[in-house]
């Protein structure tokens, strides 16, 4: 297993090793270990990309989007799968099919409309756009999971005097924890490193996300590989640590609770 | 318990997002009533320098407050302008490639009456002019040709290298043969479509003559009546390409090179010449060429054996980017502020310092007297001063470089012959409306 | 009547916010996008006029579009099969009782945090320089020339890089599916030897069908839309031979500046992919029911 993992993370290891080298060594000997370890790239990148500011922006955008998607996505999936009603079917399939639309079809009309409404200057618009574009996948995954939960559970709750809202929040939602974790992880993966949407929607320097700041080192004829790779590592480490922490303290516990 | 903490954390983050949403977009008035405007002006490789320049501008011009707009610099600025215009979020001043200027002609400010227009080199003014109006201000000049490494050439030939002795293709061939005999690779040809399609093949149109002759040639191509097999320039260009490929360092694997590996090879002295442009200097320097760059320069690409052929003697020089000012969503006050930025860039000591020293540019303005810091740029600046440059044809479609560059790469790979290249070029033009 | 009313109220409460956001962003933009395919708008001008089906005629006549679509078809088959096989295998191994499980899982998912554009640069670096250096040092012919310089090998470089990225994404879904299985099923299957393998085939795989349906669905959609990796890893090269359809469509609209044609081709792409996906999901679901 460790061997597979090592093979798998070779690209990441290359990034780490090169981020510790001076620029000229990256180009002359990209594969070898750093001749002498220097943190220069990290210091340089940290200062030039306004790391803390970018980090906070990325964190706020990612967490807000994920929370909104999980909350409303699970509610939507619950209603769409539990209530046999023609409009439900329609909305469900509309969402599924929409996941196959190339973003290119939507891009220009979307920013034109948002721009005409004057919404592109609002910080929250990117969360709204992520919500709109991320909710279909969440509904799709939640729906698959909810179908496996026996309807008898809902019925029992109703007999106990719960209405649909209480049934969902007190009985069903807690059962959705495993799939919620999956969706959280998938969405964090997508939003944390997304380039295109922040690039299209965020214009002011103080709004930059980590990926936008990192891309500042990537340019057409010359790329500053050293600072770029250092910036990448610095962007990934917080999520890596957060995952390790959550894995140990939250995920394992929740899954155990869900299975038994 | 733990779950409640998590929820609290999430709620707090959400709130933080909500609170900071209070700010507004591109501000039209900055602190202390200064006019706020935005600039998408950083060219490739000079992002930090540009940010510093803007800070300097704001400090020296307290009446204005310029904010910097970061572009995606691995894509042509025009593509980004499309999304910027669609979103209505258009920077007050932006850069674009000179040939794209015509496409935004109805959206940008007429700069004909600006003072710096009088300082422009004639070719620079011509490139920034659309329909008789000056719409763009060049950031700097850039030149394309064979970069040379004098030390390597002289070590191989045992004599002094005088670039002006290369007047014809045969002169070049003789020099290549001599260098190769000494065991050094004469040159590097990089299999990059943007380089070959725009910079090399561009000469097919340029060398047809003046702008009228160029336009006539292109309209013949579109009509399908131009015969490339009998075209002197086409055959001359292809003969030169054959010569280049014969002496290419990577002749055994002609299309494996990348900008990084070839740049590194040239910096390490593995080849005496490289078909490229002066814009590659920052990379060469990063790869270990001393900053002084003694002995590096650019010579033109000869396309015939006629020593009086002017196209053998001139370097292609063009504006790296032109700056233009939007008038569709930016207020007159903002437009005025953006004009002040161009004035600052061309006229002030710190603006010129940014242009020449920080960004390594070759001035496109006669009033800038600072010595050019980029050694390859010095060749270009000298050629400009000697009137030994030519402006490229501005009417090429935006995908010309990518599409026909690929054709030349295919030719390099041996998958296409000269007739095939000619057919691809005529086919491309016939499909243009 | 009152049932309809109750359903509507329930819908507004549970599905209202999602549906509103989804429609206001995705559906409205989609309709806008479809309208543009009937115009000659160039992406920039203030005016546009309706041109009927001109863009559709141009799209259908665009040989490059169809050849890039065919190339993409082969690419999708390779990517979907390989990425799902790898992802399931990795997830299966990670779901057992092994040491450093948290570390290992994090190790498999972290590389995905390096976004598409930058990831493409890293793979470009590996294929154009890393592997070449290894190949030259070891004298391996296959590696000593950059893969990106050969039509066939550049295609496989693209497949490898995408599979690598996609597998890390799919592992997470397979892991979720596997953890949801009853514990004794997994334990029985994780026994060594033929017994374990047979149980894997006869017990675990059938129970995992919903996960397979979801993962194949997501993999099809994502691989048809591959753009970032294509642009940064091969740039469509050598000489345009690896230009996948999403990249072609983008180039058509923004580089060749035939915006309407590019938009139309993207729409055709959507119709094709949607048809394939709906077919795949309905077949997948039916097989789940057969259990």
Nearest CA in chain B to C145: B256
Interface A-B: count of C-beta contacts within 8 A = 110
Choose among B86, B399, B413: nearest Cβ to C255: B399
- Asked if B227 has any chain C CB less than 8 Å from its own CB, the reply is no
The whole-angstrom separation of Cα B406 and Cα B429 is 15
- Asked if B17 has any chain A CB less than 8 Å from its own CB, the reply is yes
- Cross-strand partners of B299: B146
Question: What local confidence, expressed as pLDDT, does residue B258 receive?
Answer: 86
Q: Identify all chain C residues contacting A192, using CB atoms and an 8 Å cutoff.
A: 113
- Cross-strand partners of C255: none
pLDDT-based confidence at residue B5 (cuts at 50, 70, 90): very low
Contact check, Cβ <8 Å, B82/C46: no
Other CB atoms within a 10 A radius of the CB of residue B191 amount to 27
Question: What local confidence, expressed as pLDDT, does residue B12 receive?
Answer: 38
Task: Flag whether the ipTM exceeds 0.90.
Answer: no
Contact check, Cβ <8 Å, C14/A128: no
A199 domain-assigned: yes
DSSP annotation of B209 reads: -
The whole-angstrom separation of Cα A42 and Cα A53 is 16
The whole-angstrom separation of Cα C118 and Cα C110 is 14
The whole-angstrom separation of Cα B114 and Cα B118 is 8
Question: What local confidence, expressed as pLDDT, does residue B350 receive?
Answer: 94
Check if the beta carbon of residue C37 is closer than 8 Å to that of residue C55.
Answer: yes
Question: What local confidence, expressed as pLDDT, does residue B73 receive?
Answer: 58
Structure tokens at A59: 């964190």
Structure tokens at A168: 């969902």
pLDDT digits (tens, 9 = 90+) for A136-178: 999 999 998 898 888 888 888 888 888 888 899 988 998 888 8
Percent residues over pLDDT 90 in chain B: 60
Q: How far is CA B344 from CA A17, B15, B336, B340, in A?
A: 43, 42, 12, 6
pLDDT-based confidence at residue A249 (cuts at 50, 70, 90): low
Other CB atoms within a 10 A radius of the CB of residue B123 amount to 20
The whole-angstrom separation of Cα A131 and Cα C19 is 10
DSSP annotation of B371 reads: P
Question: Phi first, then psi: what are they for B35, rounded to 5°?
Answer: -75, 120
pLDDT digits (tens, 9 = 90+) for B263-304: 989 999 999 999 999 988 878 887 788 888 888 999 999 999
The whole-angstrom separation of Cα C250 and Cα C279 is 27
Question: What local confidence, expressed as pLDDT, does residue B21 receive?
Answer: 31
Q: What HEC string does C71-101 produce?
A: HHHHHHHHHHHHHHHHHHHHHHHHHCCCCCH
Check if the beta carbon of residue B319 is closer than 8 Å to that of residue B139.
Answer: yes
Q: Identify all chain B residues contacting C145, using CB atoms and an 8 Å cutoff.
A: 253, 256
Check if the beta carbon of residue B410 is closer than 8 Å to that of residue C239.
Answer: yes
CATH for A109: 1.10.3720.10
Determine the average pLDDT of the residues in B154-169: 91
Determine the average pLDDT of the residues in B205-228: 92
Check if the beta carbon of residue A45 is closer than 8 Å to that of residue A15.
Answer: no
- What does pLDDT average to in each consecutive run of 10 residues of chain C (291 residues)? 83 93 94 91 80 91 93 96 93 77 76 74 83 82 84 93 89 83 64 66 82 91 89 86 92 86 93 91 69 37
- The residue among A221, C274, A126 whose CA lies nearest residue B76 is A221
Structure tokens at A48: 């030039």
- List the chains bordering chain A where 3 or more Cβ pairs fall under 8 Å: B, C
Question: What local confidence, expressed as pLDDT, does residue C291 receive?
Answer: 37
DSSP-derived pairing of the beta strands B322-325 and B271-277: unpaired
- Asked if B26 has any chain A CB less than 8 Å from its own CB, the reply is yes
- Asked if B27 has any chain C CB less than 8 Å from its own CB, the reply is no
The whole-angstrom separation of Cα B144 and Cα B102 is 23
The whole-angstrom separation of Cα A19 and Cα A227 is 7
Helix%, strand%, coil% for chain B, nearest 5? 50, 15, 35
Check if the beta carbon of residue B35 is closer than 8 Å to that of residue B64.
Answer: yes
The whole-angstrom separation of Cα A139 and Cα A99 is 11
- The residue among B351, B384, B366, B400 whose CA lies nearest residue B97 is B400
Nearest CA in chain A to C175: A182
The whole-angstrom separation of Cα B327 and Cα B315 is 35
| pLDDT over 90 (residue B332) | yes
Q: Fold for domain B143-317+391-430? A: D-Maltodextrin-Binding Protein; domain 2 (3.40.190)
pLDDT-based confidence at residue B22 (cuts at 50, 70, 90): very low
The whole-angstrom separation of Cα C34 and Cα C178 is 41
User: Cα B259 to the chain's mean position, in Å?
Assistant: 15
Q: Identify all chain B residues contacting C254, using CB atoms and an 8 Å cutoff.
A: 79, 82
Write down the domain spans for chain B.
33-140+320-365, 143-317+391-430
Question: Phi first, then psi: what are they for B186, rounded to 5°?
Answer: -65, -45
Structure tokens at A127: 């969360």
Check if the beta carbon of residue A243 is closer than 8 Å to that of residue B74.
Answer: no
The whole-angstrom separation of Cα A131 and Cα A72 is 9
A240 domain-assigned: yes
Contact check, Cβ <8 Å, A181/C7: no
- The residue among B223, B225, B220, B228 whose CA lies nearest residue B204 is B228
- The residue among B319, B268, B59, B272 whose CA lies nearest residue B148 is B272
DSSP annotation of B354 reads: I
Out of A32-46, B257-271, B316-330, C180-194, least confident range: C180-194
Question: Phi first, then psi: what are they for B90, rounded to 5°?
Answer: -100, 125
Structure tokens at A200: 């299209």
The whole-angstrom separation of Cα C160 and Cα B325 is 45
Question: What local confidence, expressed as pLDDT, does residue C256 receive?
Answer: 84
- List the chains bordering chain B where 3 or more Cβ pairs fall under 8 Å: A, C
Average of per-residue pLDDT values in chain A: 84
A86 domain-assigned: yes
Please state the CATH superfamily assignment of the domain spanning residues B33-140+320-365 in this structure.
Periplasmic binding protein-like II (3.40.190.10)
User: Cα B356 to the chain's mean position, in Å?
Assistant: 16
Q: Look up the CATH number of domain C59-290.
A: 1.10.3720.10
Average of per-residue pLDDT values in chain B: 87
Q: Which domain holds residue A122?
A: 40-259
Determine the average pLDDT of the residues in B223-246: 93
A26 domain-assigned: no
| pLDDT over 80 (residue A183) | yes
Domain count, chain A: 1
Specify the residue for token string 């620079």: B124
| Same CATH fold assignment for domains B33-140+320-365 and B143-317+391-430 | yes
Contact check, Cβ <8 Å, C266/A105: yes
Handedness of CA C50, B78, B314, B200 (dihedral sign): negative
Out of A28-37, A118-127, B204-213, least confident range: A28-37
Angle between helical axes of C151-180 and A177-192 (0-180°, round to 10): 150
Specify the residue for token string 């956001």: C21
DSSP B261-303: HHHHHHHTTSEEEEEEEGGGHHHHHHTT--TT-TTEEEE----
A183 domain-assigned: yes
Q: How far is CA B69 from CA A146, A158, A206, A227, C101, in A?
A: 46, 56, 10, 20, 44
Question: What local confidence, expressed as pLDDT, does residue A55 receive?
Answer: 93
A23 domain-assigned: no
DSSP chain A: -HHHHHHHTHHHHHHHHHHTS-HHHHHH-SSSPPSS---HHHHHHHHHTTHHHHHHHHHHHHHHHHHHHHHHHHHHHHHHHHS--HHHHHHHHHHHHHTTS-HHHHHHHHHHHHHHTTGGG-TTHHHHHHHHHHHHHHHHHHHHHHHTS-HHHHHHHHHTT--HHHIIIIIIHHHTHHHHHHHHHHHHHHHHT--HHHHHH--SGGG--HHHHHHTT--SS---HHHHHHHHHHHHHHHHHHHHHHIIIIIHHHHHHHH-
DSSP C160-172: HHHHHHHHHHHHH
| pLDDT over 80 (residue B24) | no
Question: What local confidence, expressed as pLDDT, does residue C173 receive?
Answer: 85
Check if the beta carbon of residue C123 is closer than 8 Å to that of residue A10.
Answer: no
Question: What local confidence, expressed as pLDDT, does residue C283 receive?
Answer: 84
Question: What local confidence, expressed as pLDDT, does residue B414 receive?
Answer: 92
Other CB atoms within a 10 A radius of the CB of residue B404 amount to 25
- The residue among B406, B250, B1, B373 whose CA lies nearest residue C255 is B406
Distance between A128 CA and the closest CA of chain C, angstroms = 7
Higher pLDDT, C173 or B335: B335
Other CB atoms within a 10 A radius of the CB of residue B415 amount to 15
Q: Identify all chain B residues contacting C257, using CB atoms and an 8 Å cutoff.
A: 103, 397-399
Instruction: Give kind and range of the element (H or E) at residue B129.
Output: strand B129-130
The whole-angstrom separation of Cα C126 and Cα C115 is 16
| pLDDT over 50 (residue A121) | yes
Q: Identify all chain C residues contacting B260, using CB atoms and an 8 Å cutoff.
A: 128-129
Prior bond of C238 cis (ω within 30°):
yes
């Amino acid at each position: 297993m460790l061997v597979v993992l090592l093979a798998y993370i070779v690209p990441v290891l290359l990034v780490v090793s090169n981020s510790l080298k001076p620029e000229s060594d990256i180009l002359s000997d990209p594969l070898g270990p750093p001749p002498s370890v220097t943190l220069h790239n990290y210091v340089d990148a940290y200062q030039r990309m306004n790391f803390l500011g970018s980090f906070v922006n990325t964190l706020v955008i990612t967490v807000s989007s994920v929370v909104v998607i999980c909350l409303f996505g699970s509610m939507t999936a619950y209603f769409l799968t539990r209530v046999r009603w023609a409009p439900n079917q329609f909305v469900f399939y509309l969402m599924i099919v929409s996941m196959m639309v190339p973003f290119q079809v939507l891009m220009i009309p979307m920013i034109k409309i948002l721009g005409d409404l004057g919404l592109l200057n609002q910080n929250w618009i990117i969360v709204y756009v992520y919500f709109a574009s991320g909710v279909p996948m969440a509904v799709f995954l939640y729906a698959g999971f909810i179908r496996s939960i026996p309807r008898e559970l809902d019925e029992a709750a109703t007999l106990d005097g719960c209405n649909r809202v209480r049934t969902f929040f007190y009985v069903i939602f807690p059962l959705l924890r495993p799939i919620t974790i999956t969706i959280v992880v998938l969405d964090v993966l997508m939003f944390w490193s997304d380039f295109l949407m922040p690039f299209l929607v965020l214009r002011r320097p103080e709004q930059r996300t980590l990926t936008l700041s990192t891309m500042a080192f990537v340019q057409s004829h010359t790329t500053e590989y050293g600072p770029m790779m250092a910036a990448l590592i610095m962007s990934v480490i917080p999520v890596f640590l957060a995952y390790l922490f959550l894995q140990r303290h939250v995920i394992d516990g929740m899954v155990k609770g869900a299975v038994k | 318990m733990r779950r409640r903490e998590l929820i609290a954390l999430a709620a707090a983050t959400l709130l933080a997002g909500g609170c900071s949403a209070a700010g507004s977009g591109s501000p039209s008035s900055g602190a202390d009533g200064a006019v706020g405007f935005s600039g998408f002006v950083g060219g490739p490789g000079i992002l930090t320098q540009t940010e510093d320049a803007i800070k300097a501008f704001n400090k020296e011009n307290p009446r204005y407050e310029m904010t910097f707009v970061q572009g995606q610099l691995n894509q042509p600025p025009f593509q980004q302008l499309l999304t910027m215009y669609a979103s209505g979020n258009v920077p007050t001043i932006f850069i674009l490639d000179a040939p794209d200027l015509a496409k935004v002609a109805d959206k940008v400010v007429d700069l004909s009456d600006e003072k710096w227009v009088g300082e422009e080199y004639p070719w620079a003014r011509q490139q920034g002019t659309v329909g008789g109006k000056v719409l763009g201000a060049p950031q700097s000049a850039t030149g394309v040709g064979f970069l040379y490494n004098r030390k390597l050439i002289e070590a191989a030939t045992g004599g002094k290298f005088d670039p002006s002795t290369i007047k014809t293709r045969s002169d070049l061939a003789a020099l290549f043969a001599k260098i190769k005999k000494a065991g050094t690779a004469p040159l590097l040809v990089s299999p990059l479509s943007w380089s070959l399609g725009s910079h090399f093949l561009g000469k097919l149109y340029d060398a047809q003559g003046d702008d009228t002759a160029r336009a006539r040639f292109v309209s013949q191509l579109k009509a399908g009546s131009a015969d490339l097999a009998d075209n002197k320039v086409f055959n001359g260009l292809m003969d030169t390409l054959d010569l280049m490929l014969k002496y290419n360092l990577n002749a055994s694997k002609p299309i494996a090179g990348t900008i990084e590996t070839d740049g590194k090879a040239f910096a390490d002295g593995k080849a005496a010449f490289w078909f490229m442009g002066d814009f590659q200097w920052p990379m060469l320097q990063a790869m270990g060429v001393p900053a002084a760059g003694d002995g590096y320069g650019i010579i033109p690409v000869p396309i015939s054996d006629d020593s009086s052929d002017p196209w053998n003697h001139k370097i292609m020089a063009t504006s790296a980017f032109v700056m233009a000012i939007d008038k569709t969503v930016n207020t007159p006050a903002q437009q005025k502020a953006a004009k002040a930025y161009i004035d600052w860039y061309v006229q002030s000591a710190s603006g010129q310092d940014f242009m020449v020293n920080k960004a390594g540019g070759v001035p496109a303005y006669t009033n800038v007297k600072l010595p050019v810091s980029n050694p390859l740029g010095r060749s270009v600046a000298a050629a400009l001063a000697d009137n030994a440059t030519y402006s490229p044809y501005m009417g090429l479609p935006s995908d010309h470089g990518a599409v026909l560059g690929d054709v030349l790469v295919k030719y390099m790979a041996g998958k296409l012959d000269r007739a095939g290249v000619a057919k691809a070029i005529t086919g491309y033009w016939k499909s243009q409306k | 009547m009152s049932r309809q009313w109750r359903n509507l109220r329930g819908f507004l409460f549970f599905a209202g916010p999602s549906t509103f956001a989804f429609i206001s962003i995705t559906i409205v933009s989609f309709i806008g996008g479809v309208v543009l395919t009937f115009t000659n708008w160039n992406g920039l001008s203030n005016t546009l006029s309706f041109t009927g089906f001109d863009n559709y005629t141009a799209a259908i006549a665009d040989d490059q579009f169809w050849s890039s679509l065919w190339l993409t078809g082969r690419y999708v088959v390779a990517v979907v099969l390989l990425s799902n096989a790898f992802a399931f295998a990795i997830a299966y191994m990670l779901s057992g009782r092994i040491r450093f499980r948290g570390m290992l899982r994090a190790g498999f998912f972290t590389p995905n945090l390096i976004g598409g554009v930058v990831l493409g640069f890293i793979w470009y670096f590996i294929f154009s320089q890393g592997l070449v250096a290894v190949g030259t040092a070891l004298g391996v012919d296959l590696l000593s020339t950059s893969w990106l310089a050969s039509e066939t090998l550049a295609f496989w470089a693209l497949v490898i890089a995408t599979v690598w990225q996609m597998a890390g994404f799919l592992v997470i879904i397979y892991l979720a599916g596997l953890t949801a299985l009853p514990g004794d099923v997994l334990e029985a299957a994780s026994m060594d030897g033929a017994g374990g393998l047979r149980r894997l085939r006869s017990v675990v795989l059938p129970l995992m069908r919903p996960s397979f349906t979801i993962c194949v669905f997501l993999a099809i959609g994502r691989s048809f839309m591959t753009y970032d990796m294509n642009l940064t890893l091969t740039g469509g090269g050598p000489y345009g031979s690896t230009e996948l359809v999403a990249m072609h469509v983008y180039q058509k609209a923004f580089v060749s500046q035939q915006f309407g044609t590019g938009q139309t081709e993207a729409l055709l792409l959507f119709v094709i992919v949607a048809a394939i996906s709906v077919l795949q999901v309905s077949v997948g679901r039916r097989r789940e029911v057969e259990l």
